[in-house]
């Protein structure tokens, strides 16, 4: 567990000051078994199981591959959209449409742009054999940031067919929006930084989003960098894991209209050891 928590802190660290990678070690506890499923992937970021039992796996530098049941890797799938492989950015999450078995439609999140101006984007495509076709970018954060930190980018389909998409706070205090820096944008309901968006299958704002002065796409706010989303099939509760700075990782229950506090309410510390401050 200590090694696991250490690995989480590494993922949350600023991209320009990455600490050395700590190997993951599983404690020798009864009932825990480690099995290697596949080898040779380059920074795998997300996976989805296909109806035939194979996996689709994204690699952050920009490749998408099949992983067979016996662990064999395919060649890179053709047609993947170009990505900005900047720091923590690149080809990120993957979600199969609810009707994937019939339609072959899937959704990808990825970063676009350059190291000086980049955004989190959502693309829809159809898997046809070993290539993507009908590749369409549905949306991207309308405000660019610099640097390679905090793209968020986790996807989750809900039973009503809408799609949740996390967008990180960007981790960059130098970008201005509405006269405030990006560190504050998680608390700006009109910005996408530090938010969970709720979308239709076409990437439009989903009906029933909070509104009341919030951007029409925004479902929850006050996040740093959500990279885990899951729904309890029994209760319908939606859980999010959020990377904090030092000592500030969170597990939250999400519901429409909630503000989860970042950066005003947090257990995080700056990497210098000082308290987090919204002022820069």
Q: Which of 150, 217, 223, 260 is catalytic?
A: 150
CB 55 within 8 A of CB 66: yes
Q: Name residues whose C-beta falls within 8 Å of residue 173's C-beta, 6 or more positions apart in sequence.
A: 181, 182, 183, 280
Burial (CB < 10 A; 0-12, 13-18, 19+), residue 166, is: buried
Q: Which whole-number Å values give the CA distances from 170 to 62, 152, 275, in the listed order?
A: 20, 8, 19
Could you tell me which residues are beta bridge partners of residue 59? 44, 63
CB 39 within 8 A of CB 271: no
CB 58 within 8 A of CB 42: no
Q: Which whole-number Å values give the CA distances from 3 to 6, 17, 33, 154, 271, in the listed order?
A: 5, 20, 16, 23, 19
Active site residue 150: yes
Q: What are phi and psi of 17, to 5 degrees?
A: -135, 50
Q: Which whole-number Å values give the CA distances from 241 to 3, 30, 71, 148, in the listed order?
A: 17, 27, 28, 20
Give me the active site residues, please.
150
């Amino acid at each position: 567990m200590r090694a696991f928590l250490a690995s989480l802190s590494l993922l949350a660290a600023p991209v320009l000051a990455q600490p050395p990678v700590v190997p993951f070690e599983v404690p020798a506890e009864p009932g825990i078994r480690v099995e290697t499923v596949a080898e040779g992937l380059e920074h795998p970021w997300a996976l989805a199981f296909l109806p035939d039992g194979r996996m689709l796996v994204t690699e952050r530098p920009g490749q998408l591959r099949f992983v067979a049941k016996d662990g064999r890797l395919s060649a890179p799938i053709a047609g993947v959209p170009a990505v900005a492989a900047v720091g923590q950015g690149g080809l990120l999450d993957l979600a199969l449409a609810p009707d994937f078995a019939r339609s072959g439609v899937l959704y990808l999140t990825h970063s676009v742009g350059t190291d000086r101006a980049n955004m989190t984007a959502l693309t829809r495509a159809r898997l046809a054999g070993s290539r993507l076709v009908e590749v369409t970018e549905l949306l991207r954060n309308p405000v660019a940031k610099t640097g390679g930190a905090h793209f968020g980018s986790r996807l989750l389909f809900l039973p009503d067919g809408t799609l949740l998409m996390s967008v990180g706070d960007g981790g960059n205090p130098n970008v201005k929006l509405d006269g405030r820096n990006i560190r504050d944008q998680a608390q700006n309901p009109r910005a996408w930084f530090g938010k969970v968006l709720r979308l239709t299958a076409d990437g439009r704002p989903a009906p029933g989003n909070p509104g009341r002065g919030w951007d029409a796409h925004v479902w929850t706010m006050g996040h740093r960098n959500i990279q885990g989303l899951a729904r309890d099939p029994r209760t319908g509760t939606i859980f999010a894991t959020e990377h904090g700075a030092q000592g500030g990782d969170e597990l939250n229950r999400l519901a429409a209209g909630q503000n989860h506090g970042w950066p005003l309410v947090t257990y995080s510390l700056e990497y210098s050891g000082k308290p987090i401050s919204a002022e820069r």
